[in-house]
Amino acid sequence: MGEAAVAEKSGSINPASRAVGLNGVTIAFTVANGTYNAVEQASLSVADGEFVSIVGPTGCGKSTLLNAAAGLIAPAAGSVDVFGRTLTGLNHDAGYLFQSDALFPWKTAIDNVAIGLEIAGVDTAEAKRRAQEWLTRVGLGNFANRYPHMLSGGQRKRVGLAQVLIRDPKILLMDEPFGPLDAQTRQIMGNLLLDLWSADKKAVLFVTHDLEEAIALSDRVVIMSAGPASHIIGDWKVPIARPRDISEVKLEKGFHELHREIWNMLKAEVLKGYAQSGA
Amino acid sequence: MSRITLLTLQVLVAVVAIAIWHFATTVPVFGRLLLPPFFFSNPFDVAERIYKWFYTGSVWRHLWITLAESTLAFVIGSLGGALVGFWFARRPIVAAVFDPYVKMMNALPRVVLAPIFALWLGLGIWSKVALGFTLVFFVVFFNVYQGVKEVSPTILANARMLGMNERQLMRNVYWPSALSWMFSSLHTSVGFAVVGAVVGEYLGSAAGLGYLIQQAEGVFDVAGVFAGMFVLSAFVIVIDVLVSMVERRLLVWRPTVGEARA
């Protein structure tokens, strides 16, 4: 597998069952001396119900690509399609879990979760009831009336997950959501995510810099090249059976082999990234 | 430090300061007083004066007038500052056009406006309310402007991804953020409302604490001036405690109740 697989993969998914498609997406930023292409000609398909991770060196534009899928950034060239329709404006089929804190600090945990329903017109009592259910589901049933600053980093991520999932989006976009957490909490959150995901198999696009996490969670792992003008250079299927337990998946046959194979490619990009940023 | 120790030390500061004052104004050192009582009065005279004011009840009317002026200045100034701050923050073009004028107005010492307000609005409470308004307005305006401008981009993106339209963003994101900034400047703006009222009274009025002080000063009644100052200080402290209580209730969601003194 490798570069050849990219082209083959993008074409192989039937457009109708394709949740998100990035077609030759280029994203440019205006900088002091002209424009800078963060992402150039990136193509990727995520099938409905498929869990895909994007891994790449820091600063390669993974988050930028995710923002394009969310409709938060419009591509300079290429297009994004969602369930067969070309995306213009925000992607309303998607829920987005951000890397940094995105909860409303002036709302309690339950209000943070309920807000997605309230703005959609669900009445307050019903929204709160369902929010309480979701808080229980993510293990925070007794923390409904806490404000975000009274919760730990991991608990805030749980609230964030509930906030996004209560709207039942068909697509879940995640930008290094567990990045700021410690190793144990990450594993626990990973297992929680897989539990919730397996219940109704949404399409997931998960950005991370942690290859082990990517393999443990995903159906497919794609690798981005170092920026600028980064694009997708590798695409691997993860042949590990589900359900998985994050803390044990590393012992599975095939995990190490796959990890070594992907890491060989990723390492070169990581080094390239360091060389360019002068670090 | 425990509460009791802290309180004891705080009281001790007052006791020592008053003792020094008393000593310097009543006990002769080498045949002469360190501070001439004509200019510095003494603690007993001042205390007696304050007692008399409250005993006869003559001071209540003045306190009430000053309180009414401060409250009106605070409420109207906050409302105006919040609305204009919000408007400017959401309409960058308006903000850009008015920017030099806002800066000019804010740089102007408000005391020079007092005679104008007295001419326009008379010697009653409204000229003082106007003076307090010009002070409170800018504090609140700048804070709300900042609050709306500095909403975290992540929170904003999250709100949009959750499906909020422009109106819902206002209600659920911009407004709470602006309010939190406004409340963090509550001490400053309440203080300015009182300053506006008292300075206005001092410069021309028929009632209020500022008037009381000004009257005493006019007849070289130093005990009266000091008494007025003490009553005013106590008044401000009481208001500040009330503000702190309101703040604690309103900003429960804050990690630390910050007291940004702009």
Domains defined along chain A, listed by start: 3-93+171-177+206-277 (3.40.50.300)
- Per-residue pLDDT for B209 more than 70? yes
Size of interface A-B (CB pairs under 8 A): 61
- Per-residue pLDDT for B258 more than 60? no
Residue in chain B closest to A108 (alpha carbons) equals B253
pLDDT at B193: 93
Contact indicator for A83, A202 with CB cutoff of 8 Å? no
pLDDT at A3: 43
Confidence band (pLDDT; 50, 70, 90) for A221?
A: very high
CB contacts of B157 in chain A (<8 Å) are: 72, 96, 98, 102
- Per-residue pLDDT for A278 more than 80? no
Comma-separated ranges of CATH 1.10.3720.10 domains in chain B: 41-250
How far apart are the CA of A8 and the nearest CA of chain B, in angstroms?
32
pLDDT at A251: 85
CA neighbor of A88 nearest in space, from A61, A105, A70: A70
Q: What is the mean pLDDT of residues B161-180?
A: 89
Confidence band (pLDDT; 50, 70, 90) for B175?
A: confident
Helix or strand or coil: residue A28? strand
How far apart are the CA of A253 and the nearest CA of chain B, in angstroms?
39
pLDDT at A14: 63
* Distance in angstroms (rounded) separating the CA atoms of residues A137 and B55: 65
Does the distance separating the beta carbons of A148 and B157 come in below 8 Å?
no
Residue in chain A closest to B171 (alpha carbons) equals A119
- Per-residue pLDDT for B2 more than 60? yes
CB contacts of A102 in chain B (<8 Å) are: 152, 154-155, 157-158
Does the distance separating the beta carbons of A116 and B163 come in below 8 Å?
yes
* Non-local CB neighbours of B108 within 8 Å, separated by 6+ positions: none
Residue in chain B closest to A172 (alpha carbons) equals B161
User: What percent of chain A has pLDDT above 70?
Assistant: 93
How far apart are the CA of B203 and the nearest CA of chain A, in angstroms?
43
pLDDT at B71: 93
* ipTM of predicted assembly, 2 dp: 0.86
* Chain B contacts in chain A segment 61-100 (CB below 8 A): 70, 72, 90, 92, 94-96, 98, 100
* CA separation, residue B20 to residues A228, B7, B34, B41, B221 (Å): 72, 20, 10, 13, 21
User: What's B41-250's CATH class?
Assistant: mainly alpha
CB contacts of A148 in chain B (<8 Å) are: 253
* Distance in angstroms (rounded) separating the CA atoms of residues B228 and B212: 6
pLDDT at B256: 62
CA neighbor of A204 nearest in space, from A260, A267, A161, A163: A161
Q: Which helix (H) or strand (E) holds A183?
A: helix A183-200
CB contacts of B161 in chain A (<8 Å) are: 70, 72, 90, 94-96
How far apart are the CA of A116 and the nearest CA of chain B, in angstroms?
6
Does the distance separating the beta carbons of B157 and A147 come in below 8 Å?
no
Which residue of A66, A99, A118, A119 is the best one to mutate when testing the B interface, meaning the one whose CB has the most B CBs within 10 A?
A119
**Interface residue B255 vs chain A (CB under 8 A):** yes
Cα B127 to chain centroid distance, Å, stands at 17
User: What percent of chain B has pLDDT above 90?
Assistant: 56
Of A90, A98, A115, nearest to B172 by CB-CB distance is: A115
pLDDT at A165: 92
* Distance in angstroms (rounded) separating the CA atoms of residues A205 and B159: 20
pLDDT at A241: 85
Tell me the β-bridge partners of B149. none
pLDDT at B81: 93
Confidence band (pLDDT; 50, 70, 90) for A8?
A: very low
Contact indicator for B162, A167 with CB cutoff of 8 Å? yes
Does the distance separating the beta carbons of A104 and B154 come in below 8 Å?
no
- Per-residue pLDDT for A6 more than 80? no
Residue with tokens 């709100």: B159
How far apart are the CA of A72 and the nearest CA of chain B, in angstroms?
8
Q: What is the mean pLDDT of residues A29-43?
A: 85
Q: Quick count: other Cβ atoms within 10 Å of Cβ B13?
A: 9
Of A103, A106, A120, nearest to B163 by CB-CB distance is: A120
* Distance in angstroms (rounded) separating the CA atoms of residues B131 and A251: 74
For every residue of B47-104, DSSP letters joined together read: HHHHHHHHHHTHHHHHHHHHHHHHHHHHHHHHHHHHHHHHHHHH-HHHHHHHHHHHHH
Q: What is the pLDDT of residues A120-174, one digit of tens each?
A: 999 999 999 999 999 998 999 999 999 999 999 889 999 999 999 999 999 999 9
Q: What is the pLDDT of residues B78-89, one digit of tens each?
A: 999 999 998 998
- Per-residue pLDDT for A46 more than 80? yes
Q: What is the mean pLDDT of chain A?
A: 86
DSSP annotation of A13: S
Helix or strand or coil: residue A129? helix
How far apart are the CA of A111 and the nearest CA of chain B, in angstroms?
11
Does the distance separating the beta carbons of B176 and A115 come in below 8 Å?
no
pLDDT at B187: 86
Q: Which phi and psi (to 5°) does residue A232 adopt?
A: -85, 125
CA neighbor of A42 nearest in space, from A268, A234, A187: A234
* Distance in angstroms (rounded) separating the CA atoms of residues B213 and B77: 25
Does the distance separating the beta carbons of B161 and A70 come in below 8 Å?
yes
How far apart are the CA of B177 and the nearest CA of chain A, in angstroms?
8
* Distance in angstroms (rounded) separating the CA atoms of residues B86 and B140: 10
Q: What is the mean pLDDT of residues B103-109?
A: 90
The CA-based dihedral angle spanning residues B60, B137, B168, B155, taken in that order and rounded to the nearest 10 degrees: -110
Tell me the β-bridge partners of A224. A232
Of the candidate ranges A72-86, B28-42, B120-134, the one whose mean pLDDT is the lowest:
B28-42
Of B154, B173, B254, nearest to A98 by CB-CB distance is: B154
Q: What is the mean pLDDT of chain B?
A: 89
Which residue of A73, A104, A107 is the best one to mutate when testing the B interface, meaning the one whose CB has the most B CBs within 10 A?
A104
Residue with tokens 């929680």: A192
**Interface residue A278 vs chain B (CB under 8 A):** no
* Distance in angstroms (rounded) separating the CA atoms of residues B45 and B39: 13
